[in-house]
């Protein structure tokens, strides 16, 4: 049979298999059992009371707001910081009506589609994010509207969309006398009010233009910095929308989508003296191979301007400072890495008016810590934090008192090393003060005046408590809310088991969760399913109580419970290669994404099986979405002797096909053999076990062609598999959208057939 005919024959057979699913083998779960499991989240998620979300403070520190669970859903409250008097943050009914009208869909008052908001101005307007867009609603008339972003879009932050005009509104100087803008790709300055402009540059062109969105005035209005931009490669991903609403014929969608190895925009900082017209092109020797520059920021004294630099390949990060009088640049601080600088966890704060001191986050000793840097020489003045633990987030820097409030994990021996706690420390590293004593994961919101903090803490087995504390020493002021899960427990909810085992090195603790069926019988043998997300950018096993919704990368506990209730034990594990432990722990992923922590995961499974006879590791399945979809496929390609079946949703199966930002961070630049080593396309012939691929036709996060390239390679290798393409579906196609969700049911059906 020819290659083409063989593909057509296999494709036809596959389509038939998808249309005609075999019946369950008795005595497996019935269709009613599956539907009941799929509906579990909808049926249980409104049974809790007083589970609060992290607080948002008002700018004057007089009060804070939060969302909590109530009868029928969720409500927003405002609490007075002094009296703790509570009131509704707004009229939920009116807001729901007006938001419904603005969105063109029904919004229920107790199920508003956002989890937090901030007051704007005099507390008569609220601002929140909805569907990745900013919204504002006025509380006088409850008018709601989306906030248009006038800036030019950029593909993953590194390639400008030149089909959209830049925001070229005149940028007013701090003294209010002049305004700057771009005309014919060059920088011009004019007197306020539209007087005849003075052209400051003449070398701008369509292929090397001055970007008005990067204009930055010095505080004294004497200087200005702007970037001249050489455009990168404008790669577009094309997607056919086969069944668009309102029409019969397909529609073509196009998205600016830079991929690894593509040319990015090259930004050249240029400094101008406004009075003399002198132009200084900043020497690029200190930023020779930029992946990205931050927009310029002037120091308060106006004598220098700084910007952040990330090198292509993520091996170096710097703060570059430029003298306003001379245009001379120096590296105020430099971070070099043998593998990668973790760009998303960088923290920099320049102190004082001159930037002569800088607080900088660094992993140079193998753990993420804070350093006080001499901004003139780039040398370390002293360490602010130290130890075999991780600074997770900086909450606030008090320059006057020379103190830092921050979140960290791993300090408290004997507890989960992922639990976050709040601390305060002096700039010189002295007087480290713990502010959140409970053994739990803490989410802290510090008041703007740094006098109080709201501490929202929980564990997977401890319902959420929200407490008001003094920021100086963590001493308690009052309990704001205390979660009540009595009705949830009565419905059958049981917290998951936390389990640890040694990883591949025989020394490092690997942490995970175990979810068992509601009717679990320790005398029976249960097939095992692993919920995987192994992206190096975070850790993913839930640490907080809220068991519903979806984690960034997979189901939370209730989604796992729904699957377990069909007769499985479902687990989630953070193997090596993920974040929030040591640098060495995360570095396992460097140029090694196919690893996905599998040696640690398999060791963890075997350790649990050795303790629990009901844990049947002769029947192990796996599922995951996005990077978790890639890991799922790789489990069956590289560890097919252990994993027997997998559901891979919306996976980035070949990192050369995926977005530039995520993949160059972990696999480096230029594109090399490490990309092919992790490719599910290149290794498709190694498939063992049963595979179900699911993809949304309109996935804008991961190019859906990546899935179809795997399909092509599997057909070429004569491998059997299942495929579900959801017309119009996006990246979240595998996540539950209602009481009876088709895609979720298909996943459950697959595992029942494959493992039972």
Domain locations in the chain as residue ranges: 36-45+487-654+685-755, 56-148, 384-482
DSSP 674-704: HHHHT-TTTTGGG--SEEEEEEETT-SSS-T
Ramachandran bin of 687, using left for φ above 0, alpha for ψ from -120 to 50, beta for the remaining angles: beta
Mean pLDDT in residue range 101-117: 96
Which of the two residues, 122 and 297, has the higher pLDDT score? Answer: 297
Q: Which of 7-11, 100-104, 648-652 has the weakest average pLDDT?
A: 7-11
- CA distance readout (Å), 611 to 395, 516, 570: 42, 15, 16
Cα 541 to Cα 532: distance, rounded to the nearest angstrom? 9
Q: State the pLDDT at residue 554.
A: 52
pLDDT tens digits, 378-395 = 999 999 999 999 999 999
| C-alpha 255 chain-centroid distance | 21
Residue 310 has pLDDT above 60, yes or no: yes
pLDDT tens digits, 315-344 = 999 999 999 999 999 999 999 999 999 998
Q: Provide the token pair at 692.
A: 């179900």
- 345 Cβ contact partners less than 8 Å away, ≥ 6 residues apart: 361, 368, 579
Q: Among residues 312, 334, 47, 303, which one has the least CA distance to residue 158?
A: 312
Q: State the pLDDT at residue 549.
A: 76
Q: State the pLDDT at residue 740.
A: 52
Q: How confident is the model at residue 6 (pLDDT cuts 50, 70, 90)?
A: very low
pLDDT tens digits, 274-287 = 999 999 999 999 99
- 133 Cβ contact partners less than 8 Å away, ≥ 6 residues apart: 146, 147
Across 123-151, b (16+ Cβ under 10 Å) vs e yields: bebbebebeeeebebebeebebeeeeeee
Instruction: Give me the sign of the Cα torsion angle 286, 592, 265, 348.
Output: negative
Cα 693 to Cα 687: distance, rounded to the nearest angstrom? 13
| C-alpha 163 chain-centroid distance | 28
The torsion angles phi and psi of 504, rounded to 5 degrees, stand at: -60, -25
First to last CA, the chain: 35
Q: Among residues 130, 260, 264, which one has the least CA distance to residue 703?
A: 260
Q: State the pLDDT at residue 737.
A: 46
Average pLDDT, the chain: 94
Q: State the pLDDT at residue 194.
A: 77
Q: State the pLDDT at residue 556.
A: 87
% residues pLDDT > 90 (the chain):
92
Q: Provide the token pair at 476.
A: 């308690």
pLDDT tens digits, 689-718 = 999 999 999 999 999 999 999 999 999 999
Q: How confident is the model at residue 366 (pLDDT cuts 50, 70, 90)?
A: very high
pLDDT tens digits, 130-175 = 988 999 999 999 999 999 999 999 999 999 999 999 999 999 999 9
- 36 Cβ contact partners less than 8 Å away, ≥ 6 residues apart: 565
3 state DSSP class of 352: coil
pLDDT tens digits, 398-445 = 999 999 999 999 999 999 999 999 999 999 999 999 999 999 999 999
CB-CB contact of 138 with 118 (8 Å): no
CB-CB contact of 541 with 459 (8 Å): no
Residue 11 has pLDDT above 60, yes or no: no
The torsion angles phi and psi of 204, rounded to 5 degrees, stand at: -75, 145
CB-CB contact of 180 with 187 (8 Å): yes
Q: State the pLDDT at residue 735.
A: 52
- CA distance readout (Å), 192 to 176, 196, 223, 487: 7, 10, 16, 64
Q: State the pLDDT at residue 452.
A: 98
Q: How confident is the model at residue 741 (pLDDT cuts 50, 70, 90)?
A: confident
Cα 333 to Cα 340: distance, rounded to the nearest angstrom? 17
Q: State the pLDDT at residue 25.
A: 41
Q: Among residues 597, 584, 581, 621, which one has the least CA distance to residue 535?
A: 597
CB-CB contact of 35 with 43 (8 Å): no
CATH number of 36-45+487-654+685-755: 3.40.50.1820
Q: Which of 98-112, 232-246, 454-468, 554-568 has the weakest average pLDDT?
A: 554-568
Q: How confident is the model at residue 22 (pLDDT cuts 50, 70, 90)?
A: very low
Looking up tokens 């480290």 gives: 432
3 state DSSP class of 610: helix
pLDDT tens digits, 502-542 = 999 999 999 999 999 999 999 999 999 999 999 999 999 99
Q: Provide the token pair at 529.
A: 């399913």
Q: What angle do CA 57, 61, 66 make, to 5 degrees?
A: 25
Cα 33 to Cα 19: distance, rounded to the nearest angstrom? 21
Instruction: Count other C-beta atoms under 10 Å from residue 685's C-beta.
Output: 12
Q: Are strands 171-172 and 159-160 parallel, antiparallel or unpaired?
A: unpaired
pTM value is 0.94
């Amino acid at each position: 049979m020819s290659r083409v005919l063989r593909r057509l024959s296999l494709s036809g057979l596959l389509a038939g298999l998808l249309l005609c699913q075999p019946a369950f083998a008795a005595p497996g779960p019935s269709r009613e059992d599956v539907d009941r499991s799929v509906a579990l989240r909808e049926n249980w998620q409104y049974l809790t009371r007083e589970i609060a979300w992290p607080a948002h403070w008002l700018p004057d520190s007089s009060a804070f707001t939060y969302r909590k669970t109530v009868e029928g859903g969720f409500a927003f409250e405002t609490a007075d910081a002094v009296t703790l008097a509570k009131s509704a943050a707004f009229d939920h009914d009116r807001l729901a009506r007006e938001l419904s009208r603005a969105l063109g869909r029904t919004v229920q008052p107790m199920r508003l589609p956002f989890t937090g908001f901030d007051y704007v101005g005099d507390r008569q307007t609220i601002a929140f994010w909805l569907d990745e867009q900013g919204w504002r609603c006025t509380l006088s008339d409850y008018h709601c509207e989306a906030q248009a972003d006038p800036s030019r879009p950029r593909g993953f932050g590194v390639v400008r969309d030149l089909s959209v005009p830049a925001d070229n509104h005149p940028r007013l100087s701090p003294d209010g006398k002049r305004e700057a803008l771009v005309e014919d790709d060059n920088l011009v300055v004019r007197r306020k009010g539209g007087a005849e402009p003075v052209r400051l540059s003449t070398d701008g062109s369509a292929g090397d233009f001055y970007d008005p969105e990067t204009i930055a005035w010095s505080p004294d209005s004497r200087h200005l910095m702007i970037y001249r931009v050489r455009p990168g490669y404008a790669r577009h991903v094309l997607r056919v929308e086969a069944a668009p609403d309102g029409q019969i014929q397909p529609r073509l969608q196009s998205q600016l989508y830079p991929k690894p190895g593509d040319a990015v925009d090259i930004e050249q900082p240029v400094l101008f003296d406004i009075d003399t017209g002198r132009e200084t092109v900043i020497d690029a020797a200190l930023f020779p191979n930029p992946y990205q520059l931050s927009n310029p920021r002037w120091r308060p004294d106006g004598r220098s301007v700084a910007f952040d630099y990330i090198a292509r390949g993520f091996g170096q990060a710097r703060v570059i400072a430029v003298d306003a009088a001379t245009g001379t640049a120096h590296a105020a601080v430099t971070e070099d890495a043998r593998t990668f600088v973790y760009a998303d966890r960088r923290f920099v704060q320049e102190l004082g008016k001159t930037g002569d001191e800088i607080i900088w986050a660094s992993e140079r000793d193998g753990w993420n810590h804070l350093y006080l840097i001499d901004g003139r020489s780039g040398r370390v003045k002293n360490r602010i934090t130290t130890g075999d633990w991780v600074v997770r987030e900086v909450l606030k820097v008090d320059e006057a008192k020379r103190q830092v409030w921050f979140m960290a994990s791993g300090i408290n021996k004997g507890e989960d090393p992922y639990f976050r706690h709040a601390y305060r420390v002096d700039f010189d590293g002295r007087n480290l003060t713990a502010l959140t004593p409970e053994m739990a994961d803490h989410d802290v919101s510090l008041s703007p005046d740094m006098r109080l903090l709201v501490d929202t803490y929980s564990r997977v087995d401890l319902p959420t408590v929200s407490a008001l504390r003094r920021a100086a020493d963590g001493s308690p002021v009052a309990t704001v809310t205390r979660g009540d899960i009595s009705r949830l427990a009565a419905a059958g909810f049981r917290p998951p088991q936390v389990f640890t085992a040694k990883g591949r090195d025989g020394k490092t603790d690997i942490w995970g969760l175990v979810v068992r069926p509601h009717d679990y019988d320790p005398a029976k043998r249960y097939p095992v399913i692993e919920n995987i997300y192994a992206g190096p950018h975070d850790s993913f096993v839930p640490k907080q109580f809220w068991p519903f919704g979806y984690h960034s990368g997979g189901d939370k506990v209730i989604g796992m419970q729904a699957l377990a209730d069909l007769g499985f034990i479902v687990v989630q594990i953070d193997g090596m290669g993920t974040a929030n432990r040591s640098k060495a722990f995360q570095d396992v992923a460097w140029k090694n994404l196919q690893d996905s922590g599998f040696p640690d995961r398999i060791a963890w499974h075997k350790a649990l099986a050795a303790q629990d006879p009901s844990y049947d590791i002769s029947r192990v399945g796996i599922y995951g979405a996005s990077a978790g979809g890639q890991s799922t496929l790789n489990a069956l390609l590289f560890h097919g002797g252990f994993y027997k079946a997998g559901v891979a949703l919306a996976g980035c199966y070949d990192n050369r096909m995926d977005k530039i930002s995520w993949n160059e961070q972990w696999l480096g630049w230029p594109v090399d053999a490490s990309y092919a080593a992790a490719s599910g396309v290149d290794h498709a012939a190694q498939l063992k076990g049963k595979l179900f691929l699911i993809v949304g036709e309109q996935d804008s996060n991961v190019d859906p062609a990546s899935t179809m390239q795997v399909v092509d390679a599997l057909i070429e290798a004569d491998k059997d598999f299942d495929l579900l393409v959801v017309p119009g579906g996006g990246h979240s196609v595998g996540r539950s959208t209602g009481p009876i969700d088709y895609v979720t049911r298909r996943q459950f059906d697959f595992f029942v057939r494959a493992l039972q």
